[in-house]
Each structure stands twice: as C-alpha cells, then as structure tokens.
Amino acid sequence: MTSDPIYGLAWTRPHARTWGDRWRDGLASFWYEIGREVRRHAGDERLPLETRTRVREFSQRALSRSNRLAVPVRPYPRRALRDRVNTPLPPALVEQARETAAAAGIALDRPIVAIDASIDSDALSDAQAFLTSQGYSIVRVQRGSSPLDVFVVAESRFAICASLELQHVACVTNTPSLLLNARDPFKGYPVRANGLYTIGRVIDLDEGRVLSSSDLLTESYFRNVRNCGYRSNTPAEIRQAVEEMHEGVRGGWRESEGQAQFRARVVEAGSALATRVAYVAEWGPDAGFIGDGRLARFQAP
C-alpha cells in the first residue's frame, strides 16, 4: 500500500499497478483465451484420438502458463473506506484556495457543484440547465486536483466525476459524488451511501448489440473487453442522475427496490468471479461488501 501527500491529505493508492503488471496481466489473458478456445476442440470426435490428446495437453499448458503469469492483486479496500473520516484541509491551503477562487470569480456564497472538466459540455447541457434553475454555481475542476480543485470539491454540495481519481478525491473530502459512464459494474461502484454512478452503453463489436447489465456481470464480458466499444450516457440520462443527486443532498438518500436488487446481483456475481478474473478480484466486493452507494435510478428503476 502506497501513500502520497496531496495538499495536506493522506491519499491512499491501495493497489497501484505498474506497466509490467499490466503487461503480465495481458499476456496471462492471452494464454487463458488460447487455452480455453483450444480446449473446445479436445472433445471433437471427428478428430483422431492422438490429435485430441495433443490438443488437450496444449490447452492445459496454456492455462497453466496463464495462471503463472497472472499478477496477484490487492483488493480495493471498500470496507476501510466505508465510514467518513474527518480530513480537514490545512488552514494555509484553505486561505490560499479562497484567494485563488475569488480571483477566478468563483462565488463561494452560493451552493457549488464541482464538475470534471473533461466532461463534454454538450453532454451536460440538460444537467447544467437543471442545476442553474436550482441556484447552483457550476465550477469545473481538473482530475489532477490542484489545491484549488481539492478546495472546490470539498466546498461543493456534490461532484460530478468522469474518472475514479476525482471520485476518490470526493471520497476523501466527504463530498457526495456522481460518477458517469463506468465501463463495468464493479470498479466505479460508490462506497459511500451518498454516491451514485452510471454505466455507459457497452457494445459488443462482433455482434453489434448493446450488452445488458446482466452481460456485464459475466466472465465472458471481462475476457472480451478488447472487442467492446463504449457510448456515453445521453444528456437526458445525465440530467436524471443529477436530479437524483440533488434530491439526495436536499432530502436524504433513498434507495429503490431495483437499486437494492442490482447491488445484490453485483455482490453475488463479484464474489463468484473473483477467483477467476483478476480485475474483479481487485475491484469487486470486499468480503461481500461492494458499497452503500447505488446505480442511478434511471438504470435500476
């Protein structure tokens, strides 16, 4: 576990993976796919017995090589992050950030929503119209998190994120957050009860179909991600998620039956997949706990 100071905050990166780790993971996945594909032919009775035996032996060697190459993962510590921890910003940083905010024309006397600067303005058009109508001041922040960005996130009613980096900053500053366009149900699942996330549309490029949420909870999806394309949530969908965040901040966080059922499905699938898929072992349930947050209501009615 490594720790870096971010402007006075103790910021934890529990499982930073090196380029070498990713290379080994990719090679392990390659040999796994080869082994599994070849194994399908081992029972083909149209092939001579000697050929089937060699095919079976090759498959076993490929799968063994995959297991040897796989890099042990350190699970994301979801339970450790479950409870809020008081992490006040250093007074000197706060004073500096206030001065910088004033110079930049950021109105701190109005409720703020921090928005990841990498999100396209067109995608946020409906959401921004809603936020403005509710009296919010919108401030764009960088995922790299300068002192001003951290201060703005800490001062915000909630943050709209396009990356895990900003979602994690919001977690450290105890700021409610909405993560947009996650590519699977596990990695971006919000730990805190004041967090939401959405899943972007995932398209199987071989078949040309949009994968369902059930498809994204299978081993075959994680073995086939290189053949998938991704589409972002529509402006109307993003607005629905933002309206749900506004409702939660103003009136308390409520969970629909569909959201509770989706969490249960993620935990069940993640617990089963963790022994076979390193990615899920890393980002999936922590001893049966995936998070107190939820998938946005428009995707889990």
Give the per-residue pLDDT at 54. 80
Q: What is the largest CA-CA distance in the chain?
A: 79
**pLDDT digits 0-9 by tens, 106-127:** 888 899 999 999 999 999 999 9
Give the per-residue pLDDT at 74. 79
Residue 29 token pair: 């996945």
226 confidence band (pLDDT: 50, 70, 90): confident
The total of other beta-carbon atoms located within 10 Å of residue 270's CB is 22
Q: Please give the residue that has the higher pLDDT: either 256 or 91.
A: 256
- Three-state secondary-structure class, residue 197: strand
Judge whether 157 and 256 are in contact, CB under 8 Å. no
Residue 284 token pair: 């999936």
Give the per-residue pLDDT at 5. 33
Average pLDDT over residues 200-212: 94
| Lowest-pLDDT range of 29-33, 99-103, 118-122, 243-247 | 29-33
Q: What are the boundaries of each domain within the chain?
A: 19-69, 99-295
Q: Please give the residue that has the higher pLDDT: either 18 or 74.
A: 74
> What percentage of the chain reaches a pLDDT higher than 70?
82
> What percentage of the chain reaches a pLDDT higher than 90?
61
Give the per-residue pLDDT at 46. 78
Q: What is the mean pLDDT of the chain?
A: 86
99-295 fold: Rossmann fold (3.40.50)
Average pLDDT over residues 15-22: 57
Average pLDDT over residues 214-238: 94
Give the per-residue pLDDT at 12. 39
Instruction: Report how far apart the first and last C-alpha atoms of the chain are (Å, whole number).
Output: 38
Question: Could you write out the DSSP letters of every residue in 231-289?
Answer: EPPPHHHHHHHHHHHHHHHHH-----HHHHHHHHHHHHHHHHHTTT-HHHHHHS-BTTB
pLDDT(160) > 90? yes
pTM of the model: 0.78
Distance CA 25, CA 19 (A): 10
Give the per-residue pLDDT at 120. 94
pLDDT(176) > 50? yes
| Lowest-pLDDT range of 29-33, 38-42, 75-79, 291-295 | 29-33
Average pLDDT over residues 73-94: 87
